[in-house]
Chains A and B, each alone.
Chain A
Amino acid sequence: MQKYRDQKMRRKHRLPERLLTHLFLIAASIAIGLPFFWMITTAIKGPTEVNIFPPIWWPEVVRFDNFVTAWQTAPFGRFYINSIITSSAGVVLEVTIAALSAYAFARIKIRFREVLFMVMLAAMMIPGQVALIPNYVVLKHLGWINKYQGIVIPHVSSVFGAFLLRQFFLSIPSSLYDAAELDGLGHLRTLFYICLPLARPVVGTLTLYLFIAKWNSYLWPLIVTNTQNMRTLPVGLSMVRQAEYAIGPEHLMAAAIFVIVPVLIVFFLAQKQLIEGIASGAVKG
């Protein structure tokens, strides 16, 4: 009885505090979400509703035709295709490369393995921005400027993914590996039939994370593409912006929405996995 009263007291005591917490969090969410809202509401305004002050929060007539106009200001269909191809190919290659290295470092014992592992980890300290010029020179020699492989290949080597998957492969009980060997599975088949299916959650998080990162990447595609039909969405969008005065802010926001919609869909569908993956240090930011 006494205990029950205590609990009830505590709950009563906590109610205002809980409300206050929610109030703060709602305020913070609005502050963070406001730019998204502003992007949407601008994108459906009419040309006269954009250029007034104080601005209006919601247009009188919702103008969806802004999206059509924005889509026509640049070859967005082509940008989409380019982005989908380069991001998907990049993710598939990088995950495969990561899995192969991870398996080697976890399961194949040779001399100097630790040294090689340290060499690989050292690559994590070298930022891609430092390598821009040499990479460009290499690509020019290969004739890969304005090619999909030029956008994709320099960024599919994997240190963190390999490290992450290796940790997971090490945690798989060795009896499973022994069973695989008894069944006559070689290394490659052990990796694809035993390790990867078990690592599905880790591989999934890694895949989504890499997809978003590649979809958003701007600097490298900007450097290696110089014709409009090879541009990815972020680069194409930034080029549209340079014609800002030809098209209104409502069209610009509509175009920005084209770019972020796929990313936001992926994020909100898998937000729990992605955030917790990052929080547990599973994915480097």
Chain B
Amino acid sequence: MKPSVKNTGKANNRDKDVSQPIQTATPQVVRLIKKTSRRQRRNIIAFSAFIAPNFILLSIFTFWPIFYSLYLSFFKWNMISPIKKFIGIQNYSSLMQDPIFWKVLKNTFYLAAGTVFIKLAIALMLALLLNRRMRGRNLYRAILFSPTFTTSVAVAMVWGWILDPTYGLFRVFINSIGLRSPNWLTDVHWALPAVIIVIIWRSLGYDMVFFLAGLQSIPKDLYDAAKVDGASRLQLFRYVTFPMLSPTTFFLTIVSVIGALKAFDIIAIMTDGGPLNSTNVFVLYLYQNAFEWFKTGYASAIALILFVLIMGITLIQTRLSKRWVHY
């Protein structure tokens, strides 16, 4: 989603009109130029005043933190003591040898992979079903979308209760197909899948809405042309719908991967990274290091790696969305 920055040029053509008759230096023109520069000066003042609140806040709370994190990542500091001890790249080298950090990376990868495919497939199917005029369309859409807007802490608690291995609602379904319910959140092998289920449930509607918008932007004549050529319904999907949706699919994949990198709320409440770090993810590990163990420098190194990863993915997205996405 690279926003275009065009059409600002014509925003203020009054200034252009004034600056045109400079060829002849009559006193009138001199006066005009003076007026222009006064206006320019006034504009600069007004512009600065208008953007000041935003840029001051962005500088303090968004841009500067990147540099400060980089700085802190070379120190050993507990956030309270006035002394920061310079230790060079030691934080980074111990991160590389930290088995939990590698586990966190692996978990984040599984979380991304586990959510993306299933979620996008179901979301696309639902969008295809909803993509027609029918009764109750808005209601379906609203229900399917509602988890996205529901407070994540509450969501995590409800799901914790549903997945309860003894009294949980999920056990009913698991038992009804003849299986024994695992101890979801306390089992090293099942905790991450449980988290994935909740995250799919929560963000399914979001992806569906994007697919719906994508479907509606496909020109109808493409279908008509394909039908004239005798394409079956499956072929219509394979050769028209799916390729035409590739920008949406690509965008949602990126959003989901970045979402996995940023995941915190649901995991913090449901498992707090456990058992045995089997659900620990990037932001949670960052939080634990920074605000539970007060290893500020170490946590800053994690933050910086997170920044580089997200930045990299975003740049790949803007690069590749032009090349990979084809119509």
Residue positions of A touching B, CB distance < 8 A: 18, 21-22, 24-25, 28-29, 32-36, 38-39, 42, 50-55, 96-98, 100-101, 103-110, 113-114, 116-118, 120-121, 123, 125-138, 153-159, 162-163, 167, 170, 174, 178, 187, 212, 215-216, 218-219, 223, 233-235, 237-238, 241, 249, 252-253, 256-257, 259-260, 263-264, 267-268, 271-272, 274-275, 278-281, 285
Contacts and interface: CB of A to CB of B under 8 A. Distances in A.
Q: Select the residue from A33, A51, A279 with max chain B CB neighbours within 10 A.
A: A279
A157 B51 CA distance: 10
B159 interface: yes
B291 A223 contact: yes
B303 A132 contact: yes
A157 B46 contact: no
B235 interface: no
Contacts of A218: 151-153, 264-265, 268
Contacts of B206: 278, 285
B20 interface: no
Nearest to A135: B61
Contacts of A52: 167
B102 interface: no
Given A104-B46, A133-B65, A260-B154, 20 more contacts: A33-B146, A35-B147, A55-B169, A105-B51, A110-B44, A127-B306, A129-B264, A131-B65, A132-B290, A133-B68, A135-B61, A170-B11, A218-B265, A219-B268, A219-B287, A238-B269, A259-B154, A260-B150, A267-B149, A279-B209
Given A55-B167, A133-B296, A126 B201 contact: no
A53 B268 CA distance: 28
A215 B265 CA distance: 13
A95 to B, nearest CB: 12
B286 A259 contact: no
A15 B154 CA distance: 40
B46 A132 contact: no
B293 interface: no
B140 A121 contact: no
B79 A137 contact: yes
B129 interface: yes
A29 B167 contact: no
Contacts of A28: 126, 140, 144
A159 B92 CA distance: 31
A116 to B, nearest CB: 7
A92 to B, nearest CB: 13
A35 B8 contact: no
A130 B307 contact: yes
Contacts of B320: none
B279 interface: no
Contacts of A256: 153-154, 157-158
B151 A259 contact: yes
Contact of A253 (B15, B129, B161, B311): B161
Nearest to A209: B149
Interface pairs A-B: 7 shortest CB-CB: A134-B65, A131-B65, A104-B50, A157-B57, A109-B12, A279-B213, A256-B154
Contacts, number: 292
B298 to A, nearest CB: 10
Contact of A109 (B5, B15, B148): B15
Contact of A126 (B57, B62, B126, B255): B62
B279 to A, nearest CB: 16
Q: What's the dominant secondary structure at chain B's contact region?
A: helix
B7 interface: yes
Contacts of A18: 134
A117 B8 CA distance: 11
B325 interface: no
B129 A21 contact: yes
A236 to B, nearest CB: 9
Interface in B143-199: 143-155, 157-159, 161-162, 164, 166-169, 171-172
B324 interface: no
B169 A38 contact: yes
Nearest to A257: B154
21 contacts: A21-B134, A22-B136, A53-B167, A53-B171, A104-B46, A106-B8, A108-B50, A109-B12, A123-B62, A126-B65, A127-B262, A153-B61, A163-B3, A174-B11, A216-B151, A253-B158, A256-B154, A264-B149, A271-B146, A275-B145, A278-B210
Contacts of B114: none
B161 A252 contact: yes
Nearest to A237: B153
B51 A116 contact: yes
A25 to B, nearest CB: 5
Contacts of A212: 149
B142 interface: yes
Contact of B69 (A134, A249, A279): A134
B151 A133 contact: no
Given A135-B65, A264-B146, A114 B51 contact: no
